[in-house]
Amino acid sequence: MIRLEKRKQTSRFWTYVTPILAVVLTMIFGGVLFAILGKDPVLAIKTIFWDPVFGEFAFYYRPEVLKKAAPLILIAIGLSYGFKAGIWNIGAEGQYIIGAICAAGVALAFYPMEGRWFIFPLMIVAGVLGGMIWAMVPALLRVYFKTNEILVSLMLVYVADVLIKAFSIGLMRNPDGHGFPGSRNLNDYSSAANLELIAGTGLHWGVIAAMGVVVASYAILARHQFGFHVRLTGESPRAAGFAGVNANRLIMVCFLISGGLAGVAGMFEVSGPAAQILGSFPSAYGFTAIIVAFLGRLNPIGILLAGLLLALTYVGGGAAETAMNIPSATIQIFQGMLLFVLLSVDVLTNYRLRWAAKAGGV
């Protein structure tokens, strides 16, 4: 018989090995899933993970990986602050959408003013504030009314989804769009466009912001007093109270950080790859970022690597969908499987497997 034995302290070895093990096991289980669908499992895994980086059309796919990784990294870094402190913001998707709406609203308010340097910075501010304001709803309800921030933040995602659909056919609809839903294309509006800084690389201001946030967050969480308070609260709320940590203030600050970063991710998306407000605005980044955060062990460097990996599944999944006729829902199952497997093998960080002999005579 196999039993679990509690470790005296968390295993550092398994803390770093389990994400790698989870990825390997997900590839194996994913291969079984593809085989059940009647697809070549080896070819499917190769198409998803190898071809976008080293394949014949890698010159096209590699920039797309960067573009999709940027919002995942920004949102996941923001979520990591709260998750480390035991604060569960599950509504980053809604904050991401509201940030996009607010940023696009600023851009469209100044249309058609071209060549004005202040419009793009104002869009960044609007995106950050939009995400923060949306995140403060569950934060304030948690602090003053002791509501469950998981449920409130999650429900607000659906409100944000309704709002962006309403704006795309209402207030923000392109008056020159012949009645079709969607705002003006911001890539055609130079003052608001977040285009590639170096053509063909995928490098835009959102990617640079994501790299900057990784560096800044690593320094804050590792060296700053606020980072110590976040870690202490997550590990021992009672000890944090004795250390003078204001729990309510920490909740609001963590929500502000996660909401602000989710909002600015939406701003960079609507001004760049997405280019306009639509009911089908690129979604699920906020939910996928939860997988990124935990796969990266809530560590900024780990989140950077995990963000690139999940972005690879988006791009490679799209390639597999086209080349092998794999349903898009299967790729979402594949991503969800990664989180499920990670949570399953994560038990090894706090427990070790022991072989136990059966009791005799039974």
Binned at pLDDT 50, 70 and 90, residue 280 comes out as confident
* Predicted confidence (pLDDT) per residue in 93-127, tens digit: 999 999 999 999 999 999 988 888 999 999 999 99
Report the distance separating Cα 346 and Cα 278, nearest Å: 38
189 vs 210, more confident = 210
| Mean pLDDT for the stretch of residues 226-252 | 92
pLDDT of residue 40: 94
For residue 354, report the phi and psi dihedrals to the nearest 5 degrees: -130, 140
Report the distance separating Cα 147 and Cα 152, nearest Å: 8
Domains and CATH numbers, the chain: 65-326 (1.10.3470)
The predicted model scores a pTM of 0.93
DSSP, residue by residue, 72-132: HHHHHHHHHHHHHTT-----HHHHHHHHHHHHHHHHHHHTT--S-TTHHHHHHHHHHHHHH
| Mean pLDDT for the stretch of residues 252-265 | 97
Binned at pLDDT 50, 70 and 90, residue 359 comes out as low
Judge whether residue 362 has pLDDT over 50: no
CA 181 vs CA 98, 160, 167, 177: distances in Å: 18, 17, 9, 8
| Residue count (the chain) | 362
Binned at pLDDT 50, 70 and 90, residue 358 comes out as low
pLDDT of residue 85: 94
pLDDT of residue 129: 98
| Mean pLDDT for the stretch of residues 12-30 | 91
3-state secondary structure of 189: coil
Q: What six digits make up the tokens of 359?
A: 């009791």
* Predicted confidence (pLDDT) per residue in 34-59, tens digit: 999 899 999 999 999 999 999 888 88
Judge whether residue 360 has pLDDT over 80: no
pLDDT of residue 361: 44
121 CB-contact burial (10 Å; exposed 0-12 / middle 13-18 / buried 19+): exposed
pLDDT of residue 9: 86
* Predicted confidence (pLDDT) per residue in 134-180, tens digit: 999 999 999 999 999 999 999 999 999 999 999 999 999 999 988 89
Report the distance separating Cα 352 and Cα 343, nearest Å: 15
Q: Which residues contact 125 (CB under 8 A, 6 or more apart)?
A: none
pLDDT of residue 62: 92
Mean pLDDT of the chain: 92
Is residue 284 within 8 Å of residue 93, measured between CB atoms? yes
Element (H, E) at 219: helix 205-223
* Predicted confidence (pLDDT) per residue in 328-340, tens digit: 888 888 888 988 8
Sequence-distant contacts of 340-346: CB under 8 A, at least 24 apart: 341/22, 341/25, 341/26, 341/29, 342/18, 342/19, 342/22, 342/291, 342/294, 342/295, 343/294, 345/18, 345/21, 345/22, 345/25, 346/18, 346/22
